Amino acid sequence: MSEFTTWDIYRNLLLAMRWTVGLSLIAFAGGGIVGGLLMVLRLSSLPGGARLVRLYVQLFQGTPLLMQLFLCYFGLALFGIETSPLMAASLCLTVYASAFLSEIWFSAVKSIPRQQWEAASSLALTFMQQLRTIILPQALKIAIAPTVGFMVQAVKSTALASVIGFVELTRSGQVIANVTFSPFLVYGSVALLYFLLCFPLSLWSRRLEHRLSRRALK
């Protein structure tokens, strides 16, 4: 029987949680940048741009993240491209997040009445000026709830990185449970830590929506 104390368990889980937070930030930051560019490309009049983005979204939304991780980490090695678990997980979560975020943001923008685009065009604004000054501020309130909902999903999706050897919160819990023979305590603690990561995001989303609603009424 290992002489792990409860403090030892929590200390190691908290250390591993740093990697879960870091990987979540990488996924959302990278996915946000790529997703924003994809949204703009889909809205633009560039020939074939919208079709290309739809294909990208369907590809990464229509395949499991677990399979994407396997293909990236093990598949690239067949072509002589060595990747670390962190690099593979970051890349896969970025493209996975970008597919969902671009769709969320595109839907929010398209929900804005066409008359708003026409009014912006009558002011002789360029496409990017219309998007930045007229459309996006209105779409922001619509996009908050689904965006934060996906952020919560992205945090939980980092657990899949454990299958390629990346030691984040879930993988650390597996190792500690095997050593301590206390799966209920360990996995219960892992679940609690995930809750502590995700619940504040939901609260923040509600407050932000409420704040934007109040501003719209002024």
What is the pLDDT at residue 216? 54
pLDDT > 60? residue 105: yes
What is the pLDDT at residue 52? 94
pLDDT > 50? residue 1: no
Average pLDDT over residues 44-69: 91
Structure tokens at 52: 């290309």
Average pLDDT over residues 166-172: 91
Percent of the chain with pLDDT over 90: 47
Of the listed ranges 5-14, 21-30, 207-216, the one predicted with least confidence: 207-216
6-217: CATH topology is MetI-like fold (1.10.3720)
Band of residue 66 on the pLDDT scale cut at 50, 70, 90: very high
Distance between CA atoms of residues 4 and 122, nearest Å:
69
Average pLDDT over residues 127-131: 82
Domain boundaries, the chain: 6-217
Which of 75, 72, 82, 92 is CA-nearest to residue 30?
92
Tokens 């790529």 sit on residue = 34
Average pLDDT over residues 152-176: 91
pLDDT > 90? residue 191: yes
Structure tokens at 54: 């739809």
Distance between CA atoms of residues 79 and 25, nearest Å:
29
Average pLDDT over residues 19-40: 94
Distance between CA atoms of residues 92 and 71, nearest Å:
9
Distance between CA atoms of residues 91 and 31, nearest Å:
9
On whether the CB atoms of residues 148 and 24 are closer than 8 A, the answer is no
What is the pLDDT at residue 214? 64
pLDDT > 90? residue 60: yes
pLDDT > 80? residue 51: yes
pLDDT > 70? residue 61: yes
pTM: predicted TM-score of the whole model, two decimal places: 0.86
Structure tokens at 188: 């219960």
What are the b/e assignments for 120-159, b being 16+ CB within 10 Å? beeeebeeeebbeebbbeebebbbbbbbbebbbebbebbb
On whether the CB atoms of residues 20 and 155 are closer than 8 A, the answer is yes
Distance between CA atoms of residues 165 and 73, nearest Å:
10
User: What stretch of H or E contains 211?
Assistant: helix 183-217
